[in-house]
Amino acid sequence: MRIFIALPLPDHFKQKLINQTALLRERRKDLRWVPEKNLHVTLAFLGELKQVGTDLATAAMRRCAEKAHPFCIEADGLLTFPSKGRFRVLAAKISRGERECAALASMLETELAVEGQSGAYIFRKPERRPFAAHITVARAAREECSLSAEERSLHLRLSENVSVVAIFSSTFENGSIRYSELGRIPLGNVRNYE
């Protein structure tokens, strides 16, 4: 299974994000837009894992959630990856809450290393790129794309409290990506594990 750990987003936040990018979605048919149900803030992408790896990743996520607290995120503009020129990924930039997301992602890297050593399981190498909190909203359909200055200046203003972290599997079915939530844990309250 392809596994990642992320901050799930409430439905009303995702709907607002869809609404605020509607004009761009209408204009840019050359982008593959992420369905509303798949919008989230990725903290750690782990790739293909066996069940034992998924169990160890869930344990790492549980320990991180216990140490963290709910916080507010705010999306306030667009960013691209790569950041200059033509891009493959278009995202909503997280400004407020970026430090908390980065701290949680860093804790996850540490806890994954601990779990990997104790369980004699090899996860992927720790992420070397600097963490950039974002919500992927679209991907280039075939080749890299570019945005006009007007498109880059699209005004977004969304905020929401996040209070849970979740582990997801990702599968490719009938030409589209399907995410399935495998479990979630409230931040700062591990006893309410679902």
pLDDT digits (tens, 9 = 90+) for 93-147: 999 999 999 999 999 999 999 988 888 888 887 778 889 999 999 999 878 889 8
Range of weakest confidence among 15-19, 74-78, 185-189: 185-189
pLDDT at 177: 84
* The pLDDT of residue 53 is above 80: yes
How many domains does the chain contain in total? 1
Which range (52-56, 80-84, 189-193) has the least confidence?
189-193
pLDDT at position 82 over 60: yes
The pLDDT, as a whole number, for residue 189 is 60
CATH code for position 134: 3.90.1140.10
Domain, as residue range, for 21 = 2-192
Reported as a single tens digit per residue, the pLDDT across 136-145 is: 999 998 788 8
Distance CA 112, CA 119 (A): 10
Give residue 142's pLDDT. Answer: 78
The beta-carbon contacts of 8-15 under 8 Å, at least 24 apart in sequence, are: 8/40, 8/164, 8/166, 8/181, 8/184, 9/39, 9/40, 9/41, 9/135, 9/160, 9/162, 10/160, 11/36, 13/158, 13/160, 14/39
Collapsed DSSP state (helix, strand, coil) of residue 101: helix
